[in-house]
Amino acid sequence: MQSLKDRILSDGKVRPGNVLKVDSFLNHQMDIHILEEIGAEFKRRFEDANINKILTIEASGIAIACMVAKSFDVPLVFAKKNQTKNIAGDVYSSRVTSYTHSRVYDVIVSKEFLTADDRVLLIDDFLANGCALEGLIDIVDQSGAMLEGIGIVIEKHFQGGGDRLREKGIRLESLAIIESMTDDSLKFKD
């Protein structure tokens, strides 16, 4: 998606430790127009799948996933990183290691909102090593739902998570794939 790549180059900031900050338009302050484009692009890429549910993990993937859910006209469910009083009853749970926060979370989804009747598209803003997505895949597996694919806005190809997921036969569509990053530049994969 060329408009996304252009925006990453113009407004993204590369930080030490392989961190790409896109918080001026994607995951802190959000440019609704580019989020709409992202939603429409995932709809185009997955229009052959019979998706009836979008699943993401809190927090930065939620706004993106909302636009994707709107494009598909289906509900969005997000995995919570903490048990709350709002989630009563049975839940699916999986342990997830966050690359960005260097922390382990138990993510949960109420069994009420994900069932064996669902055909699920996972959506997230970044893919680095793939741990968060593996946790979401585990939750989909626990529910008996069908995983139709994964949509990622920015994949850091050099960190290997995308390759591992593709090797498992999972359909993975990334809108911008970064081949390499240094402290002052980045290069997209062709």
Does residue 163 lie in a domain region? yes
| The pLDDT of residue 136 | 96
Does residue 174 lie in a domain region? yes
Amino acid symbol at 158: F
Per-residue pLDDT of 141-159, as tens digits, reads 999 999 999 999 999 999 9
Helix or strand holding residue 137 (H, E): helix 131-143
Domain tally, the chain: 1
Does residue 187 lie in a domain region? no
User: Of 92, 127, 123, whose CA–CA distance to 107 is shortest?
Assistant: 92
Per-residue pLDDT of 7-20, as tens digits, reads 999 999 998 888 89
Does residue 17 lie in a domain region? yes
Look up tokens 């138990």; give the residue. Answer: 106
Question: What SS3 class is residue 119?
Answer: strand
Amino acid symbol at 180: S
Q: How far is CA 146 from the centre of its chain?
A: 17
Are the C-beta atoms of 92 and 118 separated by less than 8 Å? no
Task: Find the domain containing 21 and state its range.
Answer: 2-181
Section 167-184 average pLDDT: 94
Does residue 188 lie in a domain region? no
Q: How many CB atoms lie within 10 A of CB 8?
A: 22
Look up the pTM and report it: 0.93
**CATH number, domain containing residue 54:** 3.40.50.2020
Q: For residue 37, name the pLDDT band (cuts at 50, 70, 90).
A: very high
Beta strands (DSSP E) in 42-116 are: 53-57, 76-79, 91-98, 103-110
Q: How far apart are CA 156 and CA 147, in angstroms?
A: 22
